[in-house]
Structure 1
Amino acid sequence: MAGLVNYIAESYNELKNHVTWTPWAEAQRLTLIVIVFSVIFSLVIWGIDTAFSNVIEYYFTLVKS
C-alpha cells in the first residue's frame, strides 16, 4: 500500500513541478479546431455513406426488376 501512495505522490509532484502545460487560450483554440474538423469529417463521411447507400439501393431495384 505504501508503494501506491508513493507512486501517487511522485506523480502529483511530477505533474505540478515538471510538466509544461499549454496556456489556457491556446488549449481553447486547439479544442475549437478539433471540434470543427471533427464535424466536417463526420459530415463528409455521412455524405459518402448516403451516396453509396443510394447507389446500392438503385442497383438492387434494377436487379429486382
Structure 2
Amino acid sequence: MITFIKESIEEMRTKVSWPPYSELQRSSGLVVVGCLVFAILLFVIDQGFDNVMSWFYGQF
C-alpha cells in the first residue's frame, strides 16, 4: 500500500500535465457562469410548471 501511494504521488508530479493558473481561472469562471445559467433555467421551468399546475387545479 505504501508503494502504491508513493508511486501515485510521483506520477501526479511527473506525468500529469497541470494547466496554467490563468487557464484554470478562465475554466472556473466558465463553470460558475454555466451553473448560474442552468440554475436560472431550472428556476424558470419550475415557476412555469407551478403556474400551470395552479391554474389547472384552480379550474376545479
Higher Rg of the two aligned structures: 1
Distance 1:25 1:59 in 2: 51
Q: CA deviation at 1:26?
A: 0.1
Which residue matches 1:57?
Answer: 54
Q: Percent identity?
A: 30
State TM-score, norm by structure 2: 0.95
**Structure 2 CA distance for aligned equivalents of residues 47 and 18 of structure 1:** 45
RMSD over aligned Cα, in angstroms? 0.6
Aligned length: 60
Structure 2 matches for 1:38-57, cutoff 5 A? Answer: 38-57=35-54
Q: What TM-score, normalized by structure 1, do the two folds share?
A: 0.88
The ranges of structure 1 where at least 4 consecutive aligned residues each deviate by more than 3 angstroms after the TM superposition are none
**Unpaired stretches in structure 1, ≥5 consecutive residues:** none
